[in-house]
Amino acid sequence: MSKIKKIGVFTSGGDSPGMNACIRAVVRTAIFEGLEVVGIRQGYQGMLDRNFWDMTARDVGNIIHLGGTILKTARCLEFKTPEGMSRAYENLKSHGIDALVAIGGDGTATGANLLSKKFGMPVMCIPGTIDNDLYGSDFTLGFDTATNTVIEAIDKIRDTAASHNRLFFIEVMGRDSGCIALRAGIAGGAEAVLLPERDTAIMELIEKLSDQANNKKTSIIVIVAEGDKNGGAYHVAERVKEKFDFYDSKVTILGHLQRGGSPSSFDRVLASRLGFAAVKGLLKGKDRQMVGLRGNVIVLTPLEEALNHPYFKLEEDLLEMINVLSI
Ligand code: F6P
């Protein structure tokens, strides 16, 4: 018999599509299993402010299709101090919370790991970020939806790029991760992709685009990840466009629209599986685990490993294909 009677669930860091579907899965699985559930609003900030919501199964009705997070989210510096973390723990305990499910990126998982190590409160983490930049899961929650949003935008830009013979630089999110840029580059048929994980010299890009122009391409799409070392789409465009006066050059920064929107079916199912598995894991006595998907199987990875394991998430075949399929 599990000693856990009441679990807290929260979202933290950047929101991502699918977080609501995941909250729903956590709340309903917990209630189905006879537990009480408390939603903690605004992540770690809500633990400090005692921003607690005793939830029922009805509180998560009609949210499976919504982007954002009904629990709100925040980035909280005070929680990182020893005093802040102790106060958060005391507030959780005084509300009767025995265990936590944290939904967010690496900052969220790092905080949950420290809290659990210091005070012995069981935690399960669910990788929720559009960046897909966590070890322990092939895909993070929201990545598929964000990539679909980007592709929809690229498709529209392609229409106008082709009509006007234009060279478009499209900047997508990913400060440290090129996952969105690479997938969107393949699925959107881009001519080149610039990624934070790989340095691309401007000369190399110019040579590549020249080859494509020589191959009679009348319009070109270059995807630039936000964290590319050349300094973003505007900088890249400034340095490249003068060499291509036969194309009209334009820049589009997609920005935060990539973070919102109704989650794809993939993200809704992933969210449901991860939330369900997190609660089941807690009931089996698991602690400090990242719940992830690997090869269509739900797996648990110790948080210590998930947070410290080196990883490279860009698929080698996709990296090679960008050059091959864009000739
Ligand atoms: O959630 C991840 C992410 O979208 C990154 O790709 C991006 O660099 C960052 O968040 C933006 O954060 P903020 O919303 O705080 O500007």
Would you say residue 327 lies in a domain? no
- Residue 226: CB within 6 Å of ligand 1? yes
Based on the fold, state whether residues 137 and 268 are members of the same structural domain: yes
Active site residue 131: yes
For residues 233 and 219, what is the distance between their CA atoms, to the nearest angstrom?
17
Do 185 and 251 belong to one domain? yes
pLDDT of residue 245: 87
Of 131, 133, 144, 228, which one is the catalytic site residue? 131
| Any ligand 1 atom below 6 A from CB of 130 | yes
* Ligand 1 pocket test target in 15, 175, 179 with most atoms within 8 Å of CB: 175
Residue at 57 is within a domain: yes
279 and 163, same structural domain?
A: no
Q: What is the pLDDT of residue 2?
A: 79
Both 176 and 276 in one domain: the answer is no
Specify if 320 maps to a domain.
no
Identify whether residues 292 and 150 lie together within a single domain: no
Structural domain of 154: 145-259
Cα–Cα distances (Å) from 51 to 5, 84, 153, 294, 325, in that order, read 19, 15, 37, 34, 51
Distance linking the first and last C-alpha atoms of the chain = 61
Residue 235 lies in a domain: yes
Residues 171 and 267 in one domain: no
CATH number of the domain residue 171 falls in: 3.40.50.460
Domain holding 11: CATH number? 3.40.50.450
Residues 53 and 181 in one domain: no
134 lines ligand 1 (CB under 6 A): no
Answer yes or no: is the C-beta of 25 below 6 A from any ligand 1 atom. no
Question: Hey, whose CA ends up nearest to atom 11 of ligand 1?
Answer: 14
Residues 221 and 81 in one domain: no
The reply to whether ligand 1 has any atom less than 6 angstroms from the CB of 128 is no
| 82 and 23 belong to one structural domain | yes
Q: Per the domain annotation, does 318 fall within a domain?
A: no
CA dihedral over 81, 83, 85, 87, signed as positive or negative: negative
CA of 13 to the centre of ligand 1 (A): 9
Average confidence score pLDDT of the chain: 97
Any domain includes 323: no
Same domain, 117 and 68: yes
- Residue 126 and residue 40 in one domain: yes
Q: Which residues of the chain have pLDDT under 50?
A: none
How many separate domains does the chain show? 2
Asked whether residue 236 is assigned to any structural domain, the reply reads yes
pLDDT at 233: 98
For residues 137 and 170, membership in a common domain is answered with: no
Task: Give residue 246's pLDDT.
Answer: 86
